[in-house]
Amino acid sequence: MSFEQFNLKNGNYQDLNRSFDLIFCRNVMIYFTPETIAQIAEGLFQNAAPEAVLIISHSESLQNLKTNWKVKGPSIYTKGQLFL
- Supply the pLDDT for residue 82: 58
- Supply the pLDDT for residue 25: 92
- Supply the pLDDT for residue 14: 86
- Supply the pLDDT for residue 43: 94
* End-to-end Cα separation, the chain, in angstroms: 22
Consecutive 10-residue averages of pLDDT for the chain (84 residues): 84 87 92 94 94 94 91 91 59
Q: In whole angstroms, how far apart are CA 84 and each of 37, 59, 71?
A: 24, 21, 11
